[in-house]
Amino acid sequence: MMRKMALVSASVVALAGCQHTAPYGAQSGAFEPEGRVLVHGGLRGPSASFNSERVIGPTINMTRSADGHWVGWIRGVPLSLAVAGRQISSPTLTMSIEELPDGIEMSGLWTANQISIRVTPQELYVREPFVNPPVYLEGIGEGSYGTGRFGNSVELKGAAAQLHPPQPQFALALLAAF
């Protein structure tokens, strides 16, 4: 009996002394999104939220590491993404982001499948491996897209609704949301 109590006491002391540190850039407290990509209505896609250090949602969990890489997973695929200017790259995902006068355009490859995304106040176009057929939605107001049966199917909130949203967070959120 004395031996069991000693083992339990030693275990409690060991657990109490165990310290866990948060990953680089992790904030104490709850995640505070700066931007959101909401997909609902006729499309029924997952949504994603982001801030300067993280992109999270049902199909994404990416965090900026101390060396500037974005690490985590998108759609169950583990990734470590290098970001240089407007280029995102890894062995399985490459993407180029171009700022247009009235929005942004992203193009690249994900495991040999084409990615083409364009977001302007007038339109949202998405072609990527998980979208078939490609999605084309008309802009219906600030950060809102979709008419007819796809009425108001996509909403961009906060920083995501800016003409030139923060990158690569916005690009990663779009990949996860469609």
| DSSP helix/strand/coil, 161 | helix
Tens digit of each residue's pLDDT (9 = 90 or more) over 24-80: 444 456 889 999 999 987 777 899 999 999 999 999 999 999 999 999 999 999 999
Could you tell me the two tokens for 50? 């982001």
What is the model's pLDDT at position 97?
A: 98
> Does the pLDDT of residue 19 top 60, yes or no?
no
C-alpha dihedral, 26 to 99 to 107 to 135, nearest 10°: 90
Give dist(CA 40, CA 27) in Å, integer: 29
Tens digit of each residue's pLDDT (9 = 90 or more) over 145-178: 998 888 889 999 999 999 999 999 999 999 999 9
| DSSP helix/strand/coil, 144 | strand
On whether the pTM is more than 0.75, the answer is yes
